[in-house]
Structure formats: structure tokens, C-alpha cells
Structure 1
Amino acid sequence: MLSGKERTDLVNVARLYYEQGLTQDQVAKRIGVSRPLVSKMLTRAREAGIVHIEIRSSTEGDAALLEALQTRYALHGGMVLPVQDSMEENLKAAADYLSGELLYERNLGLGWGYLLGESISLLTQQCNRRQPGAVLPLIGKAHIPNKGYRVDELAETLASACGRHAYRLAVPAFPDSLEERQQFETTEAYLELDAMWQKLDAALVEIRDFPSVPDEATATRFGDSLKRQRAVGSFLSYYYNERGEFISGENDFAVRIPLGTLRHCPKIIGLALGAAPNAITGALKTGLFTHLLVTESTARKILEK
């Protein structure tokens, strides 16, 4: 619940940014605070409905949609992005949100995905404040020619921009056998990272459709289980059906943060800008996510179910 002073401060910042067209740097100088704090205040203004109702009346429905999603799926926050002309604009809006939601947290975990990689690239441009803490990969490396799947590199890029320590997992995400995975899990790098996973303050993961491109070695790991059990999506290469039930594979030896550990993370943000409604619905029904980034059109389809 916002106090009267907090609400007034958020309204003032929102008016400077949205109505007067000042940049976040200019707003920060005008009111005498840091730019990251301005970003945080704009995020809070969106989540509280101030921007949508008082500042951007043309998108009033976005706040109502987020509130409906929060009520249905016990979310703590997030952002429903209004209709944009391109995915690039969506990603820029997502990065603005994430700069306020993530960069103040101490220990950050990163998943993988094309859109997640693009979001991190934009987010690094907003790291103008040195902050103690660490950036951690949540899954091993994949032989996929896209920067969004090189999680160790994503962690290093974000950590370098924000003055944090980057951890590396430095092992394949999909080993060939249980024995190979167990061997990886005895390495010093894995044990150190496993201990840090217990201390996560926030995690950013991309929600993906199933099936989708690139494929994450699903035939080898799951056989026909994903089709038989009607998988609709995945995150961190954990697959699930629309009821939010996880699907196991006889040869699924993926190296990643265990679900039991992930559940203890206090803030898990689902980046769902490219996912279908049923993939997002299934992900939310797992009960893991606390925040969601989704487009307005997709949010409406989810709520119609």
C-alpha cells in the first residue's frame, strides 16, 4: 500500500517522463535522485496503475489486465505491454521494466532464449551504477548459434556492465548420460554455483512454446513423452503441460538449477513476449513465477481461457 507521499512522488516522476517527455536522466537531475531510482519509480507507477490510469489513459486496460493476471495466478507484479509496432519496441519496454525490477537485486540468475538475450543486451545499456552482487547462469551451455543460449556469456556481459561478479557453469546443458552429469556435478565450478543458487534474489527466465525452434534435444531426452503428455511449453528446458505439470524424460540429464532450489527464489520473472497463451498459462500454473512480462493481446487471450 503506497503512502500519500510515495504516491505523489510516483505521479510527479511519471508526469515528467510520460507527459513532459523528459528522459530518465533528465528526470533524475530534475528531482535530485539517481537514474536507476527513476527507473524503479516508473516501474512502481506502472504496477500501481498510476501511469495507465492518470498518465496514459489510452492504455488504461493494461493495469486492469495485470491486476486480473495477478489475482488469477498469485503474481506479485509484472507488466502488460501495450500494442507496439515491433518486437524491438516490446523489448525496449521490457528492458526499461527490468532495469527497475532486477538491477536493485543482489544475486541475479539468468535463463536462456533469443528474446532473453536481446533483453540483456538492452539492459546492459542501463547499468550506470556499480552494485555489489553476482550474476549466475541457471543452465549449462548449448550448441545453438545464438547469444541468447550462451548463458555464461550473458552473465559475464551483464555483470561487467553493472560491476558485479559473474559465475560460469562451463558445462554442456545436455550431457549424454547420467554418469556424465554426475561427473559435472562434482566439479568445483558446479558446487560453487550450486551454493550460490541457494542465495538467488531474482531470476529472469524466458517462457517458450513447445514445439519451437531451436529444439533443445527433445527427441533424445524425452522420446515421445512430450507429445504423449501434451507438452505446451518450457523454461530452462523444463517442459510442462497446460495444467502446469512437469514432464520427465528417461534420458533427460540436463544440467541446470534444480526445481526445488528455484522454488526458493523470492522473485522469478517470466519473459513471455514470444510465447503462445497456452505455454504461458502452463508456466503460470507451475506456481513458480512471481512476475510476468506479456503483451496486451496475449494477456487478453490468457484471461479468456
Structure 2
Amino acid sequence: MNTKQEKMMRLADVARKYYIEDKKQSDIAKELGVSRPLISRMLTEAKALGLVEITIHDPWQRSAIFLEKLQKRWQIKDAVLQEDLEDDRSTNIMLAETTIGLMEKIGARKIGIGWGHFIGQLVACLEEHPQKDTGIQDIYPLLGNAGVPIRNYHSNENVRVLAENLAATPHFLYLPALPESMEEKKLLCSTELYKQFEKNWYEIDTALVNIGNFPSTPDFASGVRYGNMLQKRGVCGRLLAYYFNEQGEIMDPGQDFAIQAPLEALRHCKAVIGLCSANTSVKALKGALETNLFTHIVARTELVREVLQ
């Protein structure tokens, strides 16, 4: 080994101790029996010779790159991506706050809102910090109420709280999300109450739809409605009370007796915002994107990175 090679090895060794092993310059100097200023000069020389490359990962730049890829692959118009915070709750709160900003950005006026854990976070966020100058005028539930003691799935209550804290007009659907049978659904959907509300679903301009995992809790009686078909078809996620697989195939809504906004009404919306909480899985988001229902996405940056891989 010649003198130049030996010098490069020494420089690389010092750089490794400082940048990789995270040692202080003074400690490296003491270990090698030299002065601290010499270590500083060696680190500077190591960078000048290309032995050290420093890369700064700008989260805004990364988000812009991911958005471009989402636009090309799934025709997503816009996305709000959030870096992970110290825990899931903090991340969800930040995601909820950015959702409100996104609605203002796209000029939402008539909002349809689904249900789920993220929706609950959004409602709680607005309860603590009302925003009454967003321009939102009307809020409608996208499906009936669930018969479970979890606030996140009480559609009318979520609508009431959101409307109160957004200075909007609430519209309530006094029907269950899950009737006992297809026969009961047909009966309920023949009423004037339902027919009027169905018209409202086709008039909303923005839909907030939680992208949930499957299986999940609560399950919403999927076994009664579908038997074991969901497992056989590889279902990985849920939007409203619809289930889909990784290929974006939505399980036959014709045999489903849930009372919820028709898929055609969602496709009629100017903006369908897919909301991903901190625990939304890669499979669930990928399958949701493959449905081609969503125009906007709110999600963790890392989740989107994994989906794009």
C-alpha cells in the first residue's frame, strides 16, 4: 500500500468514527493520539476528496416526489402526507388537521362524511379547535348509524359535531347502516326519507372516506352479509361499509344490504378524500387506490412510500 492509499484509509477511518460511530472529535483525537484541530481538518479533507457524502432528506421534497408518482399511477389530484410523530395519536391529530386544510384548499362546500377511527379523530380535533370560516355549508352522513357503542361510528352524531364546529348545516339520516336483511333494506330504501337522502348524496362535492383495514374491529357483521366470501376473495380493506381486495375489486354491492351512499354517487363527487390513520396497512391503501374511487389522499409519508415500492 502506497502513501496516498494509507492517507485515504486514515481519513476514511476518522470519518467512520465521527459520522457512523457518532464519536466526538475530541474522543477520536484522544484515541489516535493527535490534536482535535487535526481531526477537524481530516474530516474536512475527507469530504473534499469525496470520501464523505452528506444527504439531507427534505420531507417536503419527498412528498412532492411521492405525489407525482401517485398522480401518474392512480390519477390522484392531490395528497397531504405527514411524517410520523412520536406516537399514533399525535400522528392522527396532525393528519386530521391537514385534512381540514385540504378541504379549504379544494373549496369544499357540501361534505359527505363516512365513519371510522380517523373520522373520530377529525371530530375530536374540531371539538377542541373549531374552525368556522372554512366556507363549508352542508354536512351529510354517507351511511346510516351503526348499532355499536363506539362514537366514531355514530354517523349522525359525527355530522352534528362537525357542523357545529364548522358553522355548517347538518343533515341527518335516520336509518340504520346495517338492516337485518336484504328485504328490510329494500323496504327502508323505498321510503321518501331514503329517496330524498339519496338525491343529497349525488349533490355533495366532497366525500371524506376512511380507508380501514380488514379484518378490523368492529367487523359490522360481514359474516352475515358475505359468509366466507371476503376471505376467499382476499379482501384487505374497507371504505364506508364496502370491502375491497388488493386489486381494487369491491365485493358485490348488489348482495350487500348496508345502507350507504352508492358507489356511483362517490364517483360523481368532485373530490373523494381517502383518509388513512396511523395504523392503515399498506395492503389497505394499495387496494383503495386500485378502486380508482379516490381523487385525494391524506396519509403518512412512510405508508405512501411503502405502497409505491
Q: Which residue of 2 aligns with 1:89?
A: 90
Q: Which residue of 2 aligns with 1:108?
A: 111
Matched letter for residue 237 of structure 2: G
Matched letter for residue 99 of structure 1: I
Q: What pairs with 1:130-145 in structure 2 (closer than 5 Å)?
A: 131=135, 133-145=137-149
Q: Which residue of 2 aligns with 1:30?
A: none
Distance 1:68 1:122 in 2: 30
Q: Which residue of 2 aligns with 1:11?
A: none
Q: Which residue of 2 aligns with 1:255?
A: 259
Q: Which residue of 2 aligns with 1:183?
A: 187
How far has the Cα of 1:82 moved from its partner? 0.9
Alpha-carbon displacement from aligned partner over 1:24-83 (angstroms, at most 9, x marks no partner): xxxxxxxxxxxxxxxxxxxxxxxxxxxxxxxx9355322222222222211001112112
Change in 2 beyond 3 A, CA 1:187/1:96: same
SS in 2 for 1:89: helix
Distance 2:74 2:253 in 1: 27
| TM-score normalised by structure 2 residue count | 0.76
The 8 Å contact of residues 108 and 136 in structure 2, kept in 1 or not, is answered as no
The 8 Å contact of residues 232 and 240 in structure 1, kept in 2 or not, is answered as yes
SS in 2 for 1:135: strand
**Residue 267 (1) aligns with residue 271 (2):** yes
Count of aligned residue pairs for this structure pair? 249
For structure 2, the residue ranges without an aligned partner over 5 or more in a row are 1-56
Change in 2 beyond 3 A, CA 1:288/1:118: same
Aligned with 1:221 (options 221, 225, 228):
225
**Residue 72 (1) aligns with residue 73 (2):** yes
Distance 1:155 1:144 in 2: 17
Q: Which residue of 1 aligns with 2:281?
A: 276
Structure 1 vs Structure 2: percent identity of aligned residues? Answer: 32
Distance 2:59 2:162 in 1: 34
**Residue 122 (1) aligns with residue 125 (2):** yes
Distance 2:60 2:169 in 1: 39
The 8 Å contact of residues 111 and 136 in structure 2, kept in 1 or not, is answered as no
Q: Which residue of 2 aligns with 1:158?
A: 162
Alpha-carbon displacement from aligned partner over 1:264-283 (angstroms, at most 9, x marks no partner): 01100111122111111111
How far has the Cα of 1:191 moved from its partner? 2.1
SS in 2 for 1:93: helix
Alpha-carbon displacement from aligned partner over 1:125-162 (angstroms, at most 9, x marks no partner): 24132746210000111122211100111111111222
Distance 1:248 1:134 in 2: 30
How far has the Cα of 1:240 moved from its partner? 1.0
The 8 Å contact of residues 220 and 251 in structure 1, kept in 2 or not, is answered as no
The farther-off stretch of 196-205 and 114-123 is: 114-123
- After superposition, the CA RMSD in angstroms is 1.9
Distance 1:106 1:250 in 2: 30
Distance 1:250 1:111 in 2: 20
How far has the Cα of 1:250 moved from its partner? 7.9
Distance 1:199 1:265 in 2: 8
SS in 1 for 2:200: helix
How far has the Cα of 1:251 moved from its partner? 5.5
Greater Rg over alpha carbons, structure? 2
| TM-score normalised by structure 1 residue count | 0.77
Query: Runs in 1 of length 4+ with deviation above 6 angstroms?
Result: none
